[in-house]
C-alpha cells in the first residue's frame, strides 16, 4: 500500500495517497446504521450493501478526485490544522524552530499577491542556465551544480540502505520519469495516450508562454521535449515491473557503470558530489543504462535540453503566481478528474506541510493523540503478532527450517506507534528567508531542495538511522519497511473508522486490526519475503517452501487478474503483494476478533467494508488501475472476504449468491 514516499523501496502504506485524520483518541465512530445497510445485498455484494446508499447521494467536491472515508478524514484534519494555524497566527506568539520556520513558509505560500507580482522572475535564471548549456563539455562542467540544485536530468543518484547490508547507506542510480504516468500509456496505440498527451502538450506550452517564451518558441520546445520523452519511454520499467523487488538489486562497479555513457562523465561527477566515486552503486533498471548512449548523445542533445526546460517550468509552477499554479495543475486534473485546482489556502498549507511534515505531525500528535489509544493499539499489535506467530508455528505447508526463520523474523519485527521521539534533524536545517528580506516562495523552496539533496548525499557510506520515520504522524496510513523489518502506525490512522475507544473490539479489528495484520503480512508477501529479520535481501526459504509459496501467490494473482473495473481490468501481477497482505491481514484480524469475549463477526465484516468506502471519478479509477499496486477499494472489500470461511457462516452465503466462491478457489496463504 503505497503512499508518497521518501524511500524508493518503501513498502506498506495502507492506501495509495497520503491521507490524514482528525481525532486520534476516538471521536464517535460514524458507523453504518442498520437503516443505511441494504441487507438484501449482503450475500451478493458486501461493499454495495454497506456503502451503496451512501454512494448514491455522495458528491465529489470540485477540487477532489474522490470522496468517502479516507478523503473525509483528510478533509477533517486539513480544516482542523488550518483553523489551529489561523489562531496561532492571530495570537502572534513566538515559537521555536522548526515550527517558527514552518509559519514563515506558510506565510510566503499564502501571499498570492506577492507571488503574482513576482510572476516568472524567480524562475527565469533557472531556465536561462539550461538554455546557455551549449554542448556536453559545457554540461559536464556544470553537472555537479545541476545535480545539487535538483535540476531535472535524464539520470540521477540517490542514497538508501544497501539492500544486502541494510546497516549501511549505498548509492543507487535512478531513471527519469515520463510525461505520462506509466510506460504502458505509450504502448500498443493506447487510447489514453491520445487523450492525455494533447492535454499535457497544451499545458506545457502555456507554462512556457507564462515564462515569457513566444507561442511559437513554446510549441517548438514542447514538441522537442516530447521526442525525448518518447525515446526514453520504451527503456524504463512499467509499474508492474517496478513492483517486483527481486529485480531491483543490480550492484555494479562504479567504473563499469561510468562506461554507460560516452558523453556524460559519471566518474568526475561522482568525485565532485561525494569527494570520490564510490567503488560500487546499485542500478535498479540496468536496461536503461545499457541503452544510455543511444538515448543521450549529440543527436538528442537539443531535445534533452528542451525536456529539461519543460520539466523545470512544470515542477516550478506550484511555487509561482496563481496563473502558473492553475495552469500547472491542468494535466493532473485531467488525470484524476478533478474539476478545480486545490483552493489557495489549502494549497499553501500543503506546500508548507510538505517541507515540514514531521513538524506538523509532532504538533498534531501531541495535541490530538491520546496515550490511552496508543497503549490500546500497542496491545492490539502484540495480540496480532501472537496470532501470526501461532499461525506460523502451526503452518502445514512450511518446512521446519523455513518456519523457524519466519518466526525469527516476526520476533525481530520492530514497532513504532503514534509519532517519533524527535523531529527529523533535516527540518531544523530549513531556514526561511521572509519577504521583507527579499525572499520569494520559489527561492526558498529551491534552497530547501538543495539542502535535502545535500543531506541525502551526506549519508552515503554511513550507518542507517533505523529509527527514522518515513511518514508524518498526521498521516492516515501505515507501513512496513522491509529494509528495517519494522511496522509503523502514525497517530492519525488510530481513529474511526479504523479505531476508536467508542467502537466495539470487533469493529476495531475489522479496521485497525486488519491494518496491523496487513503490515505484518508485508513481511511475508512476495516482496517482503525476500528480506530477512535484519531487513537484508537474503533468501531464507528452502527451495521447496518457496516454490509452494510461489504457487499460492500465483493463485492470488489469478483471483484478481482480469476482474472488470472502470472500463479496464485489474492487473493481478501489479497488485499481488498488496492482495497477499490484505488476505493475511483480514484473516489474522478475523481470528484475533474471535479471541475477544464480546466478538461479533457481523460488526467485524461490516466495518471492514466501511473502511473502503470511496466514490471516485472515472479518470481517477482508471489512473489507479494502471499504476497502483493496490486493487480497487471496492474489490479489496469484496474479494478478500470470500477467502474466509467465517464470512460464509456469518452471512449464510450459499452457492448461487454473488459473494460465493467455491472452496477450492479460495486463497489462503497466511
Residues taking part in catalysis? 519, 582
The backbone region for 12, taken as left when phi is positive above 0, alpha when psi lies in -120 to 50, beta otherwise, is left
Residue 252: count of CB within 10 angstroms of its CB: 17
Give the separation between CA 417 and CA 478, rounded to whole angstroms.
10
Q: What three-state secondary structure class fits 555?
A: helix
- Are 552 and 546 in contact, with CB atoms under 8 Å apart? no
Nearest Cα to Cα of residue 42 among 665, 657, 668: 657
Q: Is 151 left (phi over 0), alpha (psi -120 to 50) or beta?
A: beta
Give the relative orientation of helices 99-110 and 441-458 as an angle to the nearest 10 degrees. 140
Closest to 497 measured CA to CA, from 181, 119, 172, 29:
29
Beta pairing, strands 486-490 & 414-418: parallel
Instruction: Report the distance separating Cα 495 and Cα 343, nearest Å.
Output: 26
Tally Cβ neighbours within 10 Å of residue 286.
14
Task: Name the DSSP letter for residue 526.
Answer: T
Q: Could you tell me where the beta strands, DSSP code E, fall in 232-371? A: 251-253, 280-283
3-state secondary structure 20-49: CCCCCCCCCCCCCCCCCCCHHHCCCCHHHH
Over the Cα atoms of the chain, what is R_g?
25
- DSSP collapsed to 3 states, 358-403: HHHHHHHHHHHCCHHHHHHHHHHHHHHHHHHHHHHHCCCCCCHHHH
Cell numbers at residue 307, please? 525536456
CA distances (Å), origin 191, targets 19, 184, 385, 454, 629:
31, 11, 46, 41, 22
Contact 475, 10 (CB under 8 A): no
The residues facing 159 across adjacent strands are: 171
Amino acid at each position: 500500500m503505497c503512499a508518497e514516499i521518501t524511500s524508493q523501496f518503501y513498502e506498506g502504506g495502507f492506501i495509495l495517497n497520503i491521507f490524514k485524520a482528525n481525532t486520534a483518541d476516538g471521536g464517535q465512530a460514524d458507523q453504518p446504521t442498520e437503516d443505511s445497510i441494504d441487507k438484501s445485498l449482503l450475500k451478493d455484494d458486501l461493499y454495495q450493501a454497506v456503502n451503496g446508499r451512501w454512494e448514491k447521494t455522495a458528491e465529489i467536491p470540485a477540487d477532489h478526485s474522490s470522496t468517502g472515508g479516507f478523503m473525509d478524514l483528510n478533509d477533517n484534519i486539513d480544516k482542523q490544522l488550518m483553523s489551529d494555524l489561523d489562531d496561532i497566527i492571530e495570537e502572534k506568539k513566538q515559537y521555536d524552530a522548526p515550527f517558527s520556520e514552518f509559519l514563515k513558509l506558510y506565510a510566503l505560500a499564502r501571499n498570492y499577491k506577492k507571488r503574482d507580482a513576482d510572476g516568472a522572475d524567480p524562475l527565469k535564471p533557472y531556465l536561462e542556465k539550461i538554455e546557455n548549456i551549449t554542448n556536453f563539455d559545457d554540461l559536464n562542467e556544470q553537472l555537479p551544480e545541476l545535480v545539487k540544485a535538483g535540476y531535472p536530468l535524464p539520470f540521477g543518484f540517490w542514497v538508501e540502505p544497501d539492500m544486502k547490508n541494510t546497516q549501511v547507506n549505498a548509492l543507487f542510480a535512478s531513471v527519469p520519469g515520463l510525461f505520462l504516468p506509466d510506460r504502458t500509456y505509450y504502448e500498443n496505440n493506447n487510447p489514453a495516450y491520445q487523450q492525455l498527451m494533447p492535454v499535457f502538450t497544451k499545458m506545457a506550452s502555456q507554462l512556457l508562454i507564462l515564462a515569457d517564451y513566444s507561442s511559437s518558441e513554446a510549441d517548438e520546445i514542447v514538441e522537442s521535449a516530447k521526442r525525448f520523452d518518447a525515446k526514453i519511454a520504451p527503456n524504463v520499467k512499467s509499474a508492474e515491473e517496478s513492483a517486483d523487488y527481486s529485480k531491483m538489486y543490480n550492484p555494479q562497479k562504479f567504473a563499469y557503470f561510468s562506461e554507460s555513457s560516452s558523453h556524460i562523465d559519471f566518474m568526475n561527477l561522482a568525485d565532485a558530489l561525494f569527494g570520490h566515486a564510490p567503488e560500487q552503486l546499485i542500478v535498479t533498471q540496468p536496461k536503461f543504462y545499457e541503452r544510455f548512449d543511444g538515448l543521450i548523445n549529440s543527436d538528442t542533445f537539443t531535445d534533452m535540453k528542451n525536456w529539461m526546460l519543460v520539466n523545470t517550468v512544470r515542477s516550478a509552477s506550484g511555487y509561482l503566481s496563481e496563473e502558473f499554479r492553475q495552469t500547472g495543475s491542468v494535466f493532473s486534473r485531467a488525470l484524476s478528474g478533478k474539476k478545480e485546482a486545490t483552493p489557495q489556502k489549502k494549497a499553501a498549507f500543503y506546500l508548507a506541510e510538505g517541507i515540514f511534515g514531521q513538524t506538523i505531525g509532532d504538533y498534531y500528535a501531541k495535541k490530538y493523540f491520546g496515550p490511552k489509544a496508543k497503549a490500546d493499539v500497542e496491545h492490539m499489535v502484540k495480540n496480532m503478532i501472537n496470532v501470526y506467530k501461532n499461525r506460523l508455528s502451526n503452518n502445514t505447508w512450511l518446512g521446519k527450517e523455513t518456519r523457524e526463520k519466519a518466526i525469527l523474523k516476526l520476533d525481530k519485527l520492530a514497532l513504532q506507534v503514534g509519532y517519533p521521539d524527535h523531529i527529523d534533524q533535516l527540518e531544523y536545517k530549513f531556514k526561511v528567508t521572509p519577504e521583507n528580506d527579499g525572499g520569494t516562495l520559489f527561492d526558498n523552496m529551491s534552497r530547501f531542495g538543495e539542502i535535502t539533496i545535500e543531506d541525502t548525499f551526506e549519508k552515503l557510506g554511513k550507518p542507517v538511522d533505523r529509527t527514522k520515520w518515513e511518514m508524518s504522524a498526521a498521516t492516515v496510513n501505515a507501513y512496513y519497511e522491509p529494509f528495517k523489518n519494522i511496522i509503523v502506525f502514525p497517530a492519525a490512522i488510530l481513529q474511526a473508522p479504523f479505531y476508536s475507544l467508542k467502537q466495539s473490539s470487533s469493529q476495531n479489528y475489522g479496521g485497525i486490526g486488519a491494518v496491523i495484520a496487513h503490515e505484518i503480512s508485508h513481511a511475508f508477501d512476495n516482496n517482503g519475503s525476500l528480506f530477512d529479520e535484519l531487513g537484508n535481501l537474503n533468501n531464507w526459504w528452502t527451495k521447496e517452501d518457496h516454490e509452494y509459496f510461489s504457487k499460492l501467490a500465483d493463485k492470488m494473482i489469478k483471483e484478481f487478474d482480469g476482474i472488470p473495473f472502470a472500463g479496464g481490468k485489474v492487473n493481478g501481477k501489479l497488485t499481488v503483494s498488496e492482495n497477499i497482505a490484505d488476505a493475511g491481514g483480514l484473516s489474522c484480524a478475523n481470528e484475533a476478533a474471535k479471541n475477544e469475549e464480546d466478538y461479533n463477526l457481523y460488526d467485524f465484516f461490516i466495518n471492514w467494508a466501511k473502511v473502503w468506502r470511496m466514490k471516485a471519478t472515472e479518470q481517477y479509477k482508471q489512473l489507479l488501475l494502471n499504476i497502483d499496486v493496490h486493487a480497487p477499494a471496492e474489490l479489496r472489500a469484496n474479494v478478500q472476504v470470500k477467502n474466509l470461511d467465517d464470512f460464509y457462516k456469518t452471512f449464510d452465503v450459499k452457492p448461487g449468491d454473488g459473494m460465493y466462491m467455491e472452496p477450492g478457489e479460495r486463497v489462503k496463504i497466511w
